[in-house]
Amino acid sequence: MSNFTHRPSRLERVPSMLASEVAGFTDSPEYRAMRDYELTIPGVVCSHFAKYLQRLHEEQIQGRESETLIRAIQSAHEVLNSLASSHETDVMVTEEIFEAFDCAPEVLERIRSHLKPSALALYRRWRGEVGV
């Protein structure tokens, strides 16, 4: 029998990627709302990340701008863009993040205005916008 070492797929690494690369996510109420066993389920973590991203932009709209908030928003959008640029994780972005947005139109527009190229292109395809 040969030695077999399981290498996690990009999809399996999504929960740890979000936890380690998105500033403030692990300290957030959205992250703490998950049960221990949920912390390793990519779709569950992504849906909580979507709520976190929404809240960050709501705070920004309300004028609670701070260096910490700006860093959190920037890191969240960097990771979102990275996930959107991979064929292995792009469906998860649309199904577990974009579809989880449940916010006022101005918050959704603020999120959309911060989307980086791959995430914006995926968002436009998901929305069925013409010219994509």
- The model's pLDDT over 7-35, given as tens digits with 9 standing for 90+, comes to 667 788 999 999 999 999 999 999 999 99
Asked whether the predicted pLDDT for residue 114 surpasses 80, the reply is yes
In angstroms, the first-to-last Cα distance of the chain is 49
pTM of this structure: 0.91
Q: 79 and 13 in contact (C-beta within 8 Å)?
A: no
As to burial, measured by CB atoms within 10 angstroms (0-12 exposed, 13-18 middle, 19+ buried), residue 85 is middle
d(CA 15, CA 42): 5
Q: 83 and 89 in contact (C-beta within 8 Å)?
A: yes
pLDDT at 2: 67
Residues 6 or more apart whose CB falls under 8 angstroms from that of 22 comprise 49, 52, 72, 75, 76, 79
- The model's pLDDT over 41-93, given as tens digits with 9 standing for 90+, comes to 999 999 999 999 999 999 999 999 899 999 999 999 999 999 999 999 999 99
d(CA 105, CA 40): 31
Q: 56 and 73 in contact (C-beta within 8 Å)?
A: yes
